[in-house]
Structure 1
Amino acid sequence: MDATPHAPAPRPWRSEAMATLALAWPLALTNLSQHALALTNAVILGWHSTEALAAATLGANLYYAVMAAPLGTAFAAAPMLAQARGQGRLAGGAGRGWVREMRRSARSGLWATLAVLLPSLLLLWFAEPVLLALGQAPGLAALAGEYLRAMMWGLIPFCGFVVLRGFLAAMERPGPALWIAVAGIGLNALLCPLLVFGWGGWAGFGVTGAGLASTLVDSLMLLGLLGLVARDRVLGRFRLLGRFWRPDPARLREVVRIGLPVAGSMLLEIGVFSAAAIVMGWFGAVAVAAHAVALQVAGMTFMVPLGIGQAATARVGLFVGEARPREAARAGWVAIGLGAGFMGLMALLLLAGAGPIARGFVGAAEATAREAAALGALLLTIAGLFQLADGVQAVAAGALRGLKDTRVPMLLAGFGYWGLGMPVGLLLAWPAGFGPQGIWLGLAAGLGAVAVLMLRRWRRMSGASLDRALPARA
């Protein structure tokens, strides 16, 4: 089933870079395509009204914060799958033990994700009172609640899609997820404006229509990917959903052990940007809309190093499974270099083109839209300053996940985002008088700190792996 030769010769740096890129570019494009779904919604709602964009931004930030727990458990399956396949390669593909291990890991990832989805969905259902309790304007909170009640059901198929994508990355077959995601962009581009604005004499659903479009597209993407995997001659033999009704307690515990810190790290990072959106709400709808513009663009550039980090998880995990620690260390450093190089280019792009990019998100007819574009350009300039740090921390975290090292990175993220980034942002916003720009300067400081800490952690762990078959866990 796996024809990879046993114990291949160590790859030089250039060969490793090519192997990482071959795996990373479909993963990065898949991430970009998924982000394009949210970007499409933001652009369409921005042309609908500034209030619709602001409300959807508040709702989406709560959505992303709540989804951290199920998404973290979904990501936890990726290193387990990669190391299981590495063990199969070490054995020359003989036997079916590693196949069973991969199937058990994928199924347990799905079970764990479903378990943590239930409280997440409950919280999203009551989004309006949550946002009101956080001090948001009643009109924006009501619109955001409508948006989330339509969008929340797509979280279930989306997390299933992520688990399957981790399986495909471990098998070094990321193509099917990419093609499905690209198809999802086209489908959402048709459904979202139709459901938001209507057609002919039908008025459409407004912000609720954008949420409905997201749910429909996420559901169809999962069904499409399941169909492609089942029909594939090699992938279909794993029977990932075979006996799905039988949980595996031992493997579930491992998913939880790895996944909870991943979920915690994601919650800390997503949460700090979500909290920034809440704080922006205290400055009014214009500040929230400007934050949405900057966040969408920064999020789009982030999708590429995120994909490189996912490739690093797979590459590092494969070499750990094969008991080849030197190659695991090399794979991580190569991926970090690739992520830093790309984000350096994105920093130059944002610094040079912040104004035109921001103006492309909002209609020019409204005075508030012009104000949002001007403020959005300032925030995009700040985003340009932290691009390099954002890329380095994302890829280093992905490489550490390949070692199943997730607890300490979560603590580092907590210190950087909440011990430094948010307090600095609040101090700059009010006592220092920078307003909304101060919040984003604080985010930049937090990301810089996390990047340095993650890089030091990877250096320590990869250095230890040169002397031991498996890296130490601290």
Structure 2
Amino acid sequence: MSTLKHEIRETFSVGIPLVASQLIYALSGFVGTAMVARLGEDALAASVLVSTIWMTLLVLFFGILNSVSVLVSHQFGAKNHKTISEIMGQAYLLGLIIAIIMVFILLLMPVFLRWSSQPPAVLELARQYMHALIWTTPGLIALIISEQFLAGINRTKLVLRISVLVVPIEIPLIYMLIFGKIGLPAFGVAGIGYGFAITYSITAIGLLFYLLKSPHYRHFKIFNGINRFHFRYFKELVNVGLPMGFMHVIEVSTFALATLWMGQFGTTMLAAHQIVMQFLGFAITLVFAMSQAVTIRVGHSVGEQNVTGVYYAAYAGMLLNFVCAILIALGFYLIPTFFLGLDIDTHKPVNADLVRDASMLLAISGVLLLFDNFRIIGFGALRGLKDTRFPMLASFISFWLVGLTCAYIFSFHFGFQGSGIWWGLTLGIAFGAAIVFIRLRILLKQIDENKLTLIKEMKN
């Protein structure tokens, strides 16, 4: 029998390793950018161009592959290991298709980057970086699928151990490949791509070998289904995953457009925006990781046909993350200079305007984070119920229709400038949180009224 105390403990057990793992991986990207900054403005500009495209591809295809943990968690809760084997076979086939598409896009992108009006030196560095990232793709896709499998079977601690082992090796390797240390070639900005390629490839090979040989995992037979095509499971992976991928693209594109608008209000406001986005990004990483934990816990309860567990998994996740979100939001509001001091000297008079604008935006981002907590955790619960199309539609309405419209009106028509953009996005996210919460309540009520009917339909 599920209890709230038990669910909180289980959510922590699944979520904390995912949170820690995501923060560690985010740290490697942050350090890599800092290294590139030492190469000069051309290298940094090329890095920004490529990173924007690369992150858009990642959020799209990572969203699609998130369906692996959803389907696996359902079957794990139902103790159906044979079906997990068949799902994983189709997941790796889907991953192969995604890898081919990503490589094709990366090969073509240098052609389209010529329209960016950047100087030839920047475009050449961007081309080199793009080609280096091509070698990253196979290992990264295999690693994502394998980690989604581990999350689905409630083995998130192994995901954390992988990140703890990989990142301390990855960062020095990237440094050596960028600057040409210990006899290695100096690849410049492309060294980031080659560093990722080496570490992801070796890690993916090692993890797959471990999953095949370890007595804890080999009975799942994750490769047995790869030699035959199961249309049902392949289609289900795509149907569940594709809306999640598009949802992430909608969200990323919204903040990209907001950044372009922010540039209309001067370099100081743009710099303040970029600094605040850095801290908000780390906070949102925590929320997304906990959201995946909620997805997995809901999926397990669905597989077990445990109605009470579905309720507790959804609401315990919201409660736990709200406590974390409100602490972060209070920190953003009460001690902004503590956070800003990590990037700039807050005591220098020359930075006074930047500190003022960034402190204001940081306080607004705290409010945004509180609403985003409920929206993202709600999405996690809906994913666990295999409802991914509604979150995509909700993101479209809340970000593109409500958020961007309000941001434009508040900033350009009402004269609130940078703060208007952030308040507009906050209003859109608040609207999204409300409709997601209503949708979740309706689904949970349907489960309660129909007893196990809805859950059985999802399982079948």
Q: TM-score, normalised by structure 2?
A: 0.87
Amino acid of the structure 1 residue aligned with 2:198: L
Compared with structure 1, are the counterparts of its residues 136 and 346 closer, same or farther at alpha carbon in structure 2 (3 Å cutoff)?
farther
Cα displacement (A) at 1:415:
0.5
- Give the equivalent residue in structure 2 for 1:231: 213
Pairwise CA distance, 1:133 = 4.0
Displacement of 1:61: 2.5
Matched, 1:17 2:12: no
Are 2:236 and 1:254 aligned?
Answer: yes
Answer whether contact 1:286 1:368 (CA < 8 A) is retained: no
Q: Which residue of 1 aligns with 2:149?
A: 167
More helix by share: 2
Q: In 2 relative to 1, CA 252–287 (structure 1 residues): closer, same or farther, beyond 3 Å?
A: farther
Question: Which segments of 5 or more consecutive residues in structure 1 lack a partner in the other structure?
Answer: 1-9, 89-97
Aligned with 1:59 (options 36, 50, 55): 50
The residue number in structure 2 matching 1:70 is 61
Q: Distance between the aligned counterparts of 2:96 and 2:150, measured in 1?
A: 20
Alpha-carbon separation, structure 2, partners of 1:58 and 1:353: 33
**Bigger mean CA deviation after superposition, 274-283 or 259-268:** 274-283
Find the aligned partners of 1:138 and 1:274 in 2 and give their Cα distance.
Answer: 24
Contact 1:74 1:110 in 2 (8 A): no
Greater Cα offset, 193-202 or 245-254: 193-202
Q: CA distance change for structure 1 residues 134 and 281 in 2, over 3 Å: closer, same or farther?
A: farther
Q: For residue 306 of structure 1, what is the aligned residue in structure 2?
A: 288
Once residues 103 and 123 of structure 2 are traced to their aligned partners in structure 1, the CA distance between those partners, rounded to angstroms, is 17
Superposed, which structure 2 residues align to 1:21-420 within 5 Å? 21-49=12-40, 52-53=43-44, 55-88=46-79, 98-131=80-113, 133=115, 143-199=125-181, 204-242=186-224, 244-279=226-261, 291-361=273-343, 379-420=361-402
**How big is the shift at 1:58?**
3.9
Q: Quick check: 1:70–1:113 contact (8 Å CA) kept in 2?
A: no
Q: Which letter maps to 1:72?
A: G
Check conservation: 1:465, 1:471, Cα contact below 8 A. Answer: yes
Distance in 2 separating the partners of 1:249 and 1:336: 35
- For residues 183 and 210 of structure 2, the distance between their equivalents in structure 1, rounded to whole angstroms, comes to 39
SS in 1 for 2:133: helix
Say if 2:382 and 2:388, in contact at 8 Å, map to a contact too: yes
Shift of 1:82: 1.0
Is 421-430 or 43-52 further displaced after alignment?
43-52
Q: Is the 2:291–2:379 Cα contact (8 Å) retained in structure 1?
A: yes
Write the distance in 2 (CA, Å) between the matches of 1:54 and 1:446.
31
Cα deviation for residue 72 of structure 1 reads: 2.2
Is 1:452 aligned to 2:434, yes or no?
A: yes
- 2:398/2:431 contact within 8 Å kept: yes
Q: Contact 1:320/1:470 (CA < 8 Å) preserved in 2?
A: no
Read off the aligned partner of 1:294 and give its amino acid letter. V
Q: How far apart are 1:321 and its partner, in Å?
A: 1.2
Does structure 1 retain, via aligned residues, the 8 Å contact 2:28–2:167? yes
Post-superposition Cα deviations, 1:240-270, rounded to whole Å, max 9, x if no partner, equal 1235232222211111111111112122112
In structure 1, distance between residues paired with 2:325 and 2:388: 24
Kept after mapping to 1: 8 A contact 2:275/2:343:
yes
Q: Give 1:411 deviation, angstroms.
A: 0.4
Question: Is 1:462 the counterpart of 2:444 in the alignment?
Answer: yes
Structure 1 counterpart of 2:58, one-letter code: M
Shift of 1:440: 3.6
SS of the residue 1:390 aligns to: helix
Q: Partners in 2 of 1:356 and 1:272 — Cα distance?
A: 28
Provide closer, same or farther for how the CA distance between residues 72 and 240 of structure 1 changes in structure 2, counting only shifts above 3 A: same
Deviations 1:393-448 (A, max 9, x none): 22111111111011111100110111122233334444445555544443333322
TM-score by length of 1: 0.84
| More moved, 116-125 vs 58-67 | 116-125
CA RMSD, Structure 1 to Structure 2 (Å): 3.4
Instruction: Please give the alpha-carbon distance, in whole angstroms, between the structure 2 residues aligned to 1:462 and 1:186.
Output: 43
Residue identity opposite 1:258 in structure 2: V
Q: Does the CA contact (< 8 Å) of 1:176 and 1:228 recur in 2?
A: no
8 Å CA contact 1:47–1:362 kept in 2: the answer is: no
Q: Secondary structure of the equivalent of 1:304?
A: helix
- Measured after TM superposition, the shift of residue 78 of structure 1 is 1.3
Evaluate the alpha carbon distance shift between residue 117 and residue 12 of structure 1 in structure 2; reply closer, same or farther with a 3 A threshold.
same
The match for 1:3 is none
Paired residues in the alignment total 455
Please state how far the C-alpha of 1:157 moved relative to its aligned partner: 2.5
Contact 2:177–2:188 under 8 Å retained in 1: yes
